[in-house]
């Protein structure tokens, strides 16, 4: 049996790393040594999955390559141009048979091609068809591409043979060998599947790992009231603090006079003191960070931005969702969940102001239709379990490449 090492590459995006962990665990369970090149702060999670963390940024600081481009992942294009030669040598020393990478890791396919080994992409979002994602980014008013990134694009094109390089190459890094999709098949339309071929469905969840490391309960001990968990994740706060805060403020006002127990998580964001104090109510608790897996285990409803991890964790725990998407693939995933009977929309367009009356109306509808939601969520949970059950066949397919 081939026992050559496998290298996994992930940029400093916690949610993306979380989706790679079940793959790391599966490969190590097959007897492979898996080196994970990423931010050292993820070391404990990687070790629990059986991988060996190597600090990708200790000798190759991201900020030295690009500290200003917006969106932040454009900096990963600059990183690739700045450190390709050095990282090729470091990865070669590990003698890998295969490189696995999150799509945002622009540098990973370049290293694999230099070393002449196959590479497997782990898709970064919901139905993130590259051409569509790039078109969406080109129209995004947030875009502010640094001079360093523009120079990196030229270098990638002229020196490293990446003819189509752009500041948005972080959404285009599909593999000609295999692309792993982080949702069940029911979330990717037939029309979109061709864009990701060769394709396998791997899902995003690692229930055994999450259950083993679940923290103490997030909600109170008694369950006399409807429990509502509210979180817009972590990335939202990089770009959209004002609309995020406004939405939380409207939700706090809406829930204040209702017989519910609410936990709002800020995803680790340090919201200004006065604003944080304003959100708190007698029945609304605001936390900088909570274990979302533990929160959803006990929640009755989830107000979410529809990040990919958040959405599928809610489905796994059979928690109906109230949709408040912000950008990127979130509106599309929100619509898909609404079409499948798993969520209700709080707004018709991303980031639009949320009226107190609307929030209460949608919450009442969720309560009134709880039985229908339960049936649809039970079916959707079965899709998650079937995808997880199919991972052995996907691992066989990956290892066949080596």
pLDDT at 214: 65
pLDDT for residue 209: 81
Rounded-to-integer distance, Cα 229 and Cα 308, Å = 17
**Residues 3, 5, 10: CA angle, nearest 5 degrees:** 145
Q: What is residue 2's predicted lDDT score, i.e. its pLDDT? A: 66
Chunked in runs of 10, what are the mean pLDDT values of the chain (402 residues)? 87 96 97 98 96 98 98 98 98 98 98 98 97 95 96 98 97 98 97 97 91 79 93 96 97 95 96 92 95 96 98 98 97 98 97 96 97 98 98 98 95
- Dig out the tokens for 93 from the structure: 């020393």
Q: Which residues of 21-37 are buried (b: 16+ CB within 10 A; e: fewer)?
A: bbbbbbbbebebbbbbb
Going along 42-189, which residue ranges are E strands?
52-55, 96-102, 119-122, 178-181
Helix (H, G, I), strand (E, B) or coil at 73: coil
Q: What angle do CA 351, 357, 360 make, to 5 degrees?
A: 95
Decide: helix, strand or coil at residue 35.
strand
Vertex 392 angle, CA 35 and 291, to 5°: 65
The pLDDT assigned to 309 comes to 97
Calculate the CA 256 to chain-centre distance.
Answer: 31
């Amino acid at each position: 049996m081939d026992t050559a090492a496998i290298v996994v590459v992930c940029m400093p995006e916690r949610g993306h790393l979380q989706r790679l962990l079940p793959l790391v665990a599966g490969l190590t369970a097959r007897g492979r040594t898996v080196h994970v090149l990423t931010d050292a702060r993820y070391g404990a999670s990687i070790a629990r999955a059986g991988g060996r963390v190597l600090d990708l940024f200790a000798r190759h600081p991201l900020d030295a390559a690009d500290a200003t481009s917006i969106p932040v992942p454009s900096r990963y294009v600059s990183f690739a141009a700045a450190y390709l030669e050095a990282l090729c040598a470091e990865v070669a020393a590990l003698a890998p048979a295969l490189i696995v990478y999150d799509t945002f890791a622009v540098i990973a396919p370049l290293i694999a091609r230099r070393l002449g080994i196959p590479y497997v992409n782990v898709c970064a979002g919901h139905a993130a068809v590259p051409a569509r994602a790039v078109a969406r980014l080109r129209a995004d008013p947030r875009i502010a591409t640094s001079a360093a990134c523009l120079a990196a694009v030229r270098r990638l094109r002229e020196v490293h043979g990446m003819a189509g390089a752009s500041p948005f190459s972080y959404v285009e890094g599909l593999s000609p060998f295999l692309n792993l999709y982080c949702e069940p098949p029911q979330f990717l339309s037939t029309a979109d599947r061709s864009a990701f071929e060769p394709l396998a469905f791997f899902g995003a969840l690692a229930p055994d790992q999450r259950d083993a490391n679940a923290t103490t309960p997030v909600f109170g001990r008694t369950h006399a009231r409807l429990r509502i968990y509210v979180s817009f994740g972590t990335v939202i706060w990089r770009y959209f603090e004002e609309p995020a805060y406004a939405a939380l403020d409207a939700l706090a006002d809406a829930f204040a006079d209702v017989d519910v127990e609410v936990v709002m998580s800020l995803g680790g964001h340090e919201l200004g003191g006065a604003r944080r104090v304003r959100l708190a109510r007698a029945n609304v608790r605001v936390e900088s960070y909570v274990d979302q897996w533990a929160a959803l285990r006990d929640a009755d409803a989830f107000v979410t931005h529809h990040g990919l991890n958040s959405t599928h964790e809610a489905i796994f725990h059979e928690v109906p969702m109230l949709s408040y998407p912000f950008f990127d693939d979130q509106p599309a995933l929100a619509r898909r969940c609404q079409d499948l009977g798993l969520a209700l929309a709080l707004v018709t367009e991303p980031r639009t102001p949320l009226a107190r009356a609307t929030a209460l109306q949608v919450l009442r509808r969720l309560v009134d239709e709880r039985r229908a939601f339960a049936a649809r969520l039970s079916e959707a949970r079965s899709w998650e379990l079937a995808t997880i059950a199919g991972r052995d066949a996907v691992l066989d397919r990956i290892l066949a490449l080596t």
